[in-house]
Chain A
Amino acid sequence: MTDVRAYEGAAAPATAATGAPEAEFGDYVALLKPRVMSLVVFTAFVGLFVAPVHVDPFIGFCAVLFIALGGGASGALNMWYDADIDAVMHRTRKRPIPAGRVGRDEALGVGLFLSGLAVVMLGLAANWFAAAFLAFTIFFYAVVYTMWLKRSTPQNIVIGGAAGAFPPMIGWACATGGIGIESLLMFALVFFWTPPHFWALALFMKEDYHAAGVPMLTVTHGRQATRRHIFGYTLVLAGFALALGLTSIAGPIYLATALVLNALFIRGGWIILRRSEEQATAHHYRAEKSFFRLSLIYLFAHFAALAVQAIVGTW
């Protein structure tokens, strides 16, 4: 009971001094951004699964796990660096660091350790090309996006989105040991999906980005410009999504899915483009929220269709 008395007394740890409870195991899990990890796991799995090279199921499982761990580690590094922004934004202020449950140094240590572990283990489980790709992805997300682009340019989401688009390429590299047109198009699918997804979020979460001083497009170029950008990206995205349908990993199921979802996505982007800010406010950003939800389904369905196509047979 000595440590408990110390905790309650004058020599209490920093977390007690701030009134915040000591971290639970779940707080360290939260550092890894499990929701983002789920996207990484799914897209990396599909990238590996649809590759034309057979991978031992257990090795494939380990590879996806280590890719996810690398993604989680970069999430911890992001939380370490962005603790000041997270403390301001309503959506993120309950994260472990701004809430005072986990120290910044601790998050940095967790992020660096897990990054190294994930890269080495992926190299041992799959191949060193995939491991180097994962290391580059962690660097890209933690340094290029988090430390550099996020606070300096309204194109932060566009270029930073590449970090989230690499996992299917890494999964593909785990199986094939290289890059192919198919993996590049899977990259393009996530890369061009990311901006409209986050800009739609920024349209109905505007106060947060204003308060944190993050140069989102909505802040720097205005909301009408953001609406134009969203629509433009839905058109570009459709081109890449349909192009993927003509590759060796696709087939009629994927192409039908892509046709329907891209038509819906372009329609959603068009509705957003045609709305004025007054209309959007009056309708409580219903169209923007609906577009955001559709974007989640859009990405999941495209990759799910690729996986199904790999099972039933491609072109």
Chain B
Amino acid sequence: MALHPEHELHRRRSGRNVGLALVLLAFVALVFGLSIAKIKQGDLMQAFDHRPRATALPAEPGFTGGGPAANPVAAPGTPAAALPNARVPAAPAATPEVKP
């Protein structure tokens, strides 16, 4: 079987394909990193329905049950704060952090 030298066209197409692959990989990494950063600063909520995950919220003092906190603490402006039994601290925790 004869070997054919690579054509200029192949080199250009290969360059485009490699470039696009790198861009897509970078985009995936970016979205992943963005998700992590958002989750770290975001509200505690379940992904499937964006409802606050009560088990992850700080429980009411004295609450010893294994189930969801009956009276969760929620940051103002978050979905958890909209719960009927949520305790919202008076301090504006959701206000953007101001640089010193």
User: At the interface with chain B, which of A51-59, A261-269, A279-287?
Assistant: A51-59
* Cβ B8 vs Cβ A21 within 8 A: yes
The proximity string for B residues 9-47 relative to A, scoring 1 for CB distances below 8 Å and 0 otherwise, is 110110110111000000000100110111011000000
Complex Cα–Cα for A53 and B98 (A)? 5
A176 to B12, CA, bound (A): 44
Q: Is the CB of A56 within 8 A of B12?
A: no
- Distance A305 CA – B9 CA, assembled complex (angstroms): 48
A22 touches B97 (CB 8 A): no
Q: Are A124 and B96 in contact (CB under 8 A)?
A: no
Query: A124–B97 contact, CB under 8 A?
Result: no
Q: In the complex, are the beta carbons of B38 and A4 less than 8 A apart?
A: no
A7 at the interface (CB under 8 A from B): yes
Q: When the two chains form the complex, which single residue of B8, B18, B19, B96 contacts A176, counting CB atoms closer than 8 Å?
A: B96
Q: A7-B9, A59-B34, A125-B34 are in contact. Are A24 and B15 (CB under 8 A)?
A: yes
Contacts A1-B7, A58-B33, A59-B34 known; A52 to B98 CB distance under 8 Å? yes
Q: How far is the CB of A91 from chain B (nearest CB, A)?
A: 25
Report the bound CA distance from A32 to B94 in whole Å: 38
Docked-complex contact A22 and B34, CB < 8 angstroms: no
Q: Is A3 an interface residue (CB 8 A)?
A: yes
Chain A residues, Cβ within 8 Å of B16: 23-25, 28
Question: Could you tell me which residues of chain A, from 10 to 43, have a CB within 8 Å of some CB in chain B?
Answer: 21-26, 28
CB pair A54–B34 under 8 Å, yes or no, is no
Query: Hey, which chain A residues are within 8 Å of B12, CB to CB?
Result: 21-24
Q: Contacts A23-B16, A59-B38 known; A65 to B30 CB distance under 8 Å?
A: yes
Extra 4 A-B pairs, beta carbons < 8 Å, given A21-B8, A22-B9, A54-B97? A7-B9, A28-B19, A52-B99, A59-B38
Q: What are 20 sample pairs from A and B whose C-beta atoms fall under 8 A apart?
A: A1-B7, A4-B7, A4-B9, A7-B7, A21-B12, A22-B13, A25-B16, A28-B16, A28-B19, A54-B99, A56-B37, A58-B33, A58-B34, A58-B36, A58-B37, A59-B38, A62-B33, A65-B30, A125-B34, A175-B96
> Which residues of A are at the interface with B, using a C-beta cutoff of 8 A?
1, 3-4, 7, 21-26, 28, 52-54, 56, 58-59, 62, 65, 124-125, 175-177
